[in-house]
Structure 1
Amino acid sequence: MRHGKKNNHLSRTHSHREAMLQNMASSLILHKRIETTLAKAKELRKFVEPILTRAKDDTYNNRRMVFRSLNDKETMKELFGTVADKIASRPGGYTRIIKLGNRLGDNAETCLIELVDFNELLLAAAADKATATTKTRRSRRGTGARSATDATPVDTAETVELPSAEVVEDEAPVETVSAAADDLTIIEGIGPKIAELLNNAGITTFAQLADAEDAVVQQVLVDAGSSFNTHDATTWNEQAALARDGKSDELKALQDRLKGGKE
């Protein structure tokens, strides 16, 4: 009986399992992301996160304990140098698991496990979102403040109209930035998992996909792993442009041609 034993043995002996987790932890620290099965990634997360917490406090004892777990000098340099500086202000949750679907052959669930603070695309998207929210709030406050001041002792109508015109010009781009995300799955060749990858990369609307270069979109698929490398993204921006402009008939005709006339 295995009552209360939550660790997954991964069908390996204790020594084999420990050596495998050491190897995977070193690869994750050195390369910042690795592709593996979901079961291994969940066990790796439990193995590597306490090590990352120790690395934030650079003491002799912590280095000794971490080296006993990793047993690799190059990994130790990277961990107590670059990685420790990046995660210094994070209280926990240093890793992220992104599911990639089942692989051919044994049908095992695959995923990416990565260090959260080293995904530049997601960090840039989060910063843009925070900036957009801040701009929206400021412009609304500015409108209220100006309208309140303009209601009191103003002599000419010209002075009243100028601030409100400036506010309208400031708010117009903000509304486009904070627009709701489009359903990218209506584009032929994009499924729910690819749509999630594009959203994580900051491409959430038809307009952004239409303006994105093929090389950028293809790089997102390459970074996601070998199971997405075979997808052809050359027509996605053309389809997204038609969807953005509301040309549903032309979009359907183009998709019919891409599918060879089959429904």
Structure 2
Amino acid sequence: MRHGKKVNHLSRTDSHRRAMLANMASSLILHKRITTTLAKAKALRVYVEPIITRSKDDTTHSRRTVFSYLQNKEVVSILYRDIAAKVANRPGGYTRILKMGNRLGDNASMALIELVDYNEIYTSGDAVAEKKSTRRRGSKAKKADDTPAVAATVAPKAEKEEIVEVAPAEEIQVEESPAVEATADESEAPSAEETPSDEAPTEEKKGE
């Protein structure tokens, strides 16, 4: 039984286990994500996160300490040049483990371990959610305060415009109505007078 034992030996000797974890940590720093068994991923997370934390202090002593764990100069340079700047504002929790089901050969639980700051899908989603939450808080307060003032200012203007528009419209209709009737009578009068003048010559011609 493993009561109270926090270290998973992974069925390996101490030298083999340390060499394997150093190799996996180097691969994670180079490729930013690797696929392995769930037990190894959990052991790697405990191994690599203190190394990433130490990389924030760019001194000769910390570089030598990290090199003693990783045993790879290229990986150490990438860690201090790129990853340390990327995780500078993150207080721990640099890795994420995602379960991937079981392996076909021996049915072992598989997992993907990756650096959190290099996953663009998750990080962009978090950033958008934060921006929306801040905008919602500000917009609700502003809308609640501004809506009554806008309604109060718009309502009287609309009433004044309706009163000004309706009054002259009625006056124009009253003034124009007699003028229209007069023109109608005048247009009918000459037509009545012209009709007998046209008929008179026709009767004389018939008499002749």
Matches within 5 A, 1:88-237: 88-150=88-150, 155-157=156-158
Q: CA deviation at 1:134?
A: 3.1
Whole-Å Cα distance in 1 between the matches of residues 63 and 41 of structure 2?
Answer: 24
User: SS state of the match for residue 15, structure 1?
Assistant: helix
Q: CA deviation at 1:143?
A: 1.6
Structure 2 gaps, min length 5: 160-208
1:64 aligns to what? 64
Whole-Å Cα distance in 2 between the matches of residues 54 and 34 of structure 1?
Answer: 22
Whole-Å Cα distance in 2 between the matches of residues 124 and 157 of structure 1?
Answer: 47
1:30 aligns to what? 30
1:82 aligns to what? 82
1:212 aligns to what? none
Whole-Å Cα distance in 1 between the matches of residues 2 and 106 of structure 2?
Answer: 26
Whole-Å Cα distance in 2 between the matches of residues 157 and 9 of structure 1?
Answer: 81
Q: Identity across aligned pairs (percent)?
A: 59
Whole-Å Cα distance in 2 between the matches of residues 5 and 142 of structure 1?
Answer: 56
Q: Which moved more, 1:133-142 or 1:29-38?
A: 133-142
Whole-Å Cα distance in 2 between the matches of residues 77 and 157 of structure 1?
Answer: 71
Amino acid paired to 2:66: V
Whole-Å Cα distance in 1 between the matches of residues 137 and 3 of structure 2?
Answer: 53
1:197-234 C-alpha deviation (Å, 9 max, x unpaired): xxxxxxxxxxxxxxxxxxxxxxxxxxxxxxxxxxxxxx
1:6 equivalent to 2:6? Answer yes
1:106-144 C-alpha deviation (Å, 9 max, x unpaired): 111111101111111111111222233333333322321
Q: CA deviation at 1:59?
A: 1.1
Paired residues in the alignment total 158
1:75-94 C-alpha deviation (Å, 9 max, x unpaired): 00110010000111111111
Whole-Å Cα distance in 2 between the matches of residues 88 and 125 of structure 1?
Answer: 20
Whole-Å Cα distance in 1 between the matches of residues 40 and 102 of structure 2?
Answer: 14
Amino acid paired to 2:157: T
User: SS state of the match for residue 156, structure 1?
Assistant: helix
Q: CA deviation at 1:5?
A: 2.3
Whole-Å Cα distance in 2 between the matches of residues 112 and 150 of structure 1?
Answer: 55
Q: Please, what TM-score do these two structures have when normalized by structure 1?
A: 0.56
1:18 aligns to what? 18
Cα pair distance change 1:3/1:131, threshold 3 Å: closer
User: SS state of the match for residue 4, structure 2?
Assistant: coil
Q: CA deviation at 1:35?
A: 0.5
Whole-Å Cα distance in 1 between the matches of residues 74 and 130 of structure 2?
Answer: 36
Amino acid paired to 1:117: D
Amino acid paired to 1:100: M
Structure 1 gaps, min length 5: 159-263
Higher helix share: 2
Amino acid paired to 2:63: R
1:179 aligns to what? none
Q: CA deviation at 1:153?
A: 6.0
Whole-Å Cα distance in 2 between the matches of residues 11 and 70 of structure 1?
Answer: 21
1:46 aligns to what? 46
Between Structure 1 and Structure 2, whose CA radius of gyration is higher? 2
Amino acid paired to 2:39: A
Q: CA deviation at 1:2?
A: 5.3
Whole-Å Cα distance in 2 between the matches of residues 141 and 3 of structure 1?
Answer: 55
Q: Please, what TM-score do these two structures have when normalized by structure 2?
A: 0.70
Amino acid paired to 1:150: V
- RMSD between aligned alpha carbons? 1.9
